[in-house]
Amino acid sequence: MSLFDLSGKVAVITGSSRGIGRAIAEAMADQGAKVVISSRKAEACEEAARGINDKHGAGSAVVVPANISSKEALQNLVNETRRQLGRIDILVCNAASNPYYGPMSGISDDQFRKILENNVIANHWLIQMVAPEMIERREGSIIIVSSIGGLKASAVIGAYNISKAADFQLARNLAAEFGPHQVRVNCIAPGLIRTDFARALWENPDTLKAVTRYTPMQRIGEPHEIAGAAVFLAAPASTFMTGQAIVVDGGSTTGAGL
């Protein structure tokens, strides 16, 4: 078996109609997995799935829209995946929210609560829904897309960074709980990536200059440059890796130039 072969596996990827999530879904399909495309908008999901099915054949991607803020919608995502594809081998918690840019002193309670609920609690919900079947089979990979923001301070996305730091700890805790059952939980920590989600950062010339100035590769990343890490964490290549975070940031956290 190839170290990166995902043939016969079923992967659920939240927030996969665009950006990093879509790139991960496409890359996993390239390695033979059947993928579940999920985000809030059904039309966007259908468009993403169409591209995968055109490339790999009908049934390679299925659509189950879900709003991560709804526990009932996430349970439906799990139930529908099992109904249509029979199982879940890989879970990628990629969807997230960040409704506020600015200092912590200005964030409303509702905004802070939404960030924590969607970026941490929703991941907890979904993992708890999926983990039992993985534990029963003694096999499975859970991947949380965190951020280098969880390793750094910020004067404009502080609440988001707090939630992403919590995701690192969520992965560590669950790795300890699930490890005896051979179910793995890891994080990916992207740097600034050219996505719609991060547009407010990379479209700001001052922010872009500040980020790239101290990034050894002197640029921001593209969504497909995160997908390989997800394939690695889902595949046989990483079966002895759990509770860890892979940083994919062009070197920006090395401290180069500071």
Share of the chain above pLDDT 70, in %: 98
Instruction: Report the pLDDT value the prediction gives residue 207, as an integer from 0 to 100.
Output: 80
pLDDT digits (tens, 9 = 90+) for 195-241: 877 777 777 788 888 788 889 999 999 999 999 999 999 999 999 99
pLDDT surpassing 80 at residue 158: yes
Rounded-to-integer distance, Cα 120 and Cα 21, Å: 17
Instruction: Report the pLDDT value the prediction gives residue 93, as an integer from 0 to 100.
Output: 98
In this structure, the chain runs to a length of: 258
Tell which residue, 128, 63, 112, 117, has the closest CA to residue 95.
117
Instruction: Report the pLDDT value the prediction gives residue 53, as an integer from 0 to 100.
Output: 98
Of 100, 101, 160, 214, which one is the catalytic site residue? 160
Q: How far apart, in Å, do the first and last CA atoms of the chain sit?
A: 44
Rounded-to-integer distance, Cα 92 and Cα 26, Å: 13
Known active-site residue 160: yes
pLDDT surpassing 80 at residue 88: yes
pLDDT band at 89; cut points 50, 70, 90: very high
Cβ burial of 86 (10 Å; 0-12, 13-18, 19+) is: exposed
pLDDT surpassing 70 at residue 258: no
> Rounded mean pLDDT of 136-162?
96
Instruction: Report the pLDDT value the prediction gives residue 194, as an integer from 0 to 100.
Output: 86
Instruction: Report the pLDDT value the prediction gives residue 197, as an integer from 0 to 100.
Output: 75
Listed by start position, the domains of the chain span 10-250
Instruction: Report the pLDDT value the prediction gives residue 190, as an integer from 0 to 100.
Output: 97
CATH superfamily of 10-250: NAD(P)-binding Rossmann-like Domain (3.40.50.720)
- The rounded mean pLDDT for the chain is 95
pLDDT surpassing 90 at residue 26: yes
